[in-house]
A and B are shown apart, each in its own frame.
Chain A
């Protein structure tokens, strides 16, 4: 079973609002899927459905389980960090490790200790979570999650509010300590650029719908950015860019499935950043 998550026509309504509106997608084993969308796009709702925290319409299967109805089985093989601040503030570091160890069948205390040993949390084993800095709490949470032998890790804005050093470190640790071809990660973040280099797949969601879903490798095949100016810009504009913006008096145009040969005669070609592509796609939808 290589398909870890399968969604067919999944919807979730809150009254008249369609938070998730008939989405279909698959996530394969061993991938790092970035789920990117503006605030209120339905990211968190979709993740909650995958984690079995909320019910939804349509067909949703996670590791062959119905996440909402088979939550306990699901939680044996899935981990999530919903927010940086959710570790209970009253608990001591050592108590937290004890507790997870006693309720989680696949938690490895040794592995968690090894990871913690490399952080400042190591010296503060008897400290309560409320006495740790936000960055240390995130390190602690990641150490616990990474020490659980789970098939799917779901991260919802895991680095929100952390400073840049911790954010970099968080993703570096994630790759070295957690990820391998047997494991799969689904991650959402506002800071697209910080996961751009680690994700293998990307999915854009806007107003409850998926507007892009593909592998990072194929992005550069289909999307290209042209840096041009003057007359050549007018010619390029006739080729139907999906977005255009000004940079230092020059025009940057983004094209989808275009003949690169003829485009290359009009200026410099670049692979667009995921952030630029995202902005172009979201604007394109709402325009």
Chain B
């Protein structure tokens, strides 16, 4: 059972190379941009000569830590945006492509159940693809810090203190890991819906998946003058109950920064208990489960390809 799951997930990664190629490509771009930024800044401003991360103009440790956190946070968002697109495309393609090229006939000739196969695709979307992205985020941070360190040392700065001593690495990475996985789980009803459409669509699963999301709110508005569905669906991304009083502005406010020195922690803002206790999370998981079960049944019982 678990051996099969591992084999199936490995197969998914072989088939959908974009799940690791995309994060790597973004990592390369982010790195190039930040190096270009460093070079540009030091060319124009001698005060900042020691490069962004070790800049001497940033006075205290807390500010430096905050600046680094904001930088990390900012670059991570690029990855997360790509992740959302990646997962959507993956899920929509996962049960459609094998029917389109008829390879489903081969897959189904092996002693693997339809439930196992669909489960592997769900795990890919909710766990594996997000994890690959987290790995890329961590690798990007490391490479960027290494480049900054080399730069700083060449300029005669103390990289050990100014960079490695100032970056809450563990805090940032753990927060990125939790946030990414929680986000994928939170958005799981969409993933389940995409899997269902992927198993059902005769053509253009994308169109079929999006159409109800546009039509249902319209019908609801015409007949009930309400927007419950639209809020549930389109508002869900913004309702992730994982943060507790996260206020990014404070990282830009010097006075407040000085006051709570040492408290620059993304992890401290994550409310895992609140997340796990949210009824909305479990309702979403239930919806995901129902959609996924539907996808299993379609693959299993629809006699035709």
Contact = CB atoms under 8 A, between A and B. Distances in A.
Interface of A: 48, 51, 53-55, 71-73, 75-76, 79-83, 85-92, 95, 99-100, 102-105, 141
Interface in B74-109: 98, 101-109
Contacts of A80: 109
A104 B107 CA distance: 11
Interface stretch (B7-15, B152-160, B172-180): B7-15
B105 A86 contact: yes
B113 interface: yes
A234 B14 CA distance: 69
B112 interface: yes
Contact of B105 (A71, A76, A83, A99): A83
Nearest to B301: A55
Given A85-B102, A102-B7, A103-B4, A53 B14 contact: no
A76 B4 CA distance: 14
Interface string B103-134: 11111111111000000000000000000000
B108 A53 contact: yes
A264 to B, nearest CB: 49
Contacts of A100: 110
Contacts of B109: 51, 75, 79-82
Contact of B15 (A53, A73, A88, A105): A88
B238 interface: no
Interface string B1-25: 0011011101100110000000000
B303 interface: yes
Contact of B303 (A48, A71, A91, A92): A48
B15 A90 contact: yes
A191 B10 CA distance: 39
B101 A75 contact: no
B101 A91 contact: no
A53 B112 CA distance: 13
Nearest to B15: A90
Nearest to B302: A54
A103 B11 CA distance: 11
Contacts of B15: 88, 90-91
B93 to A, nearest CB: 11
Contact of A75 (B98, B104, B111): B111
Contacts of B301: 55
Given A86-B103, A88-B101, A95-B14, A53 B110 contact: no
B111 A104 contact: yes
Interface string B183-220: 00000000000000000000000000000000000000
Contacts of A89: 101, 103
Nearest to A12: B303
A265 B253 CA distance: 114
Nearest to B103: A88
Contacts of B98: 88
Nearest to B107: A88
Given A48-B303, A81-B109, A104-B110, 14 more contacts: A51-B109, A75-B110, A75-B111, A75-B112, A82-B109, A86-B103, A88-B107, A89-B101, A91-B11, A99-B7, A102-B10, A103-B111, A105-B111, A141-B106
A56 to B, nearest CB: 10
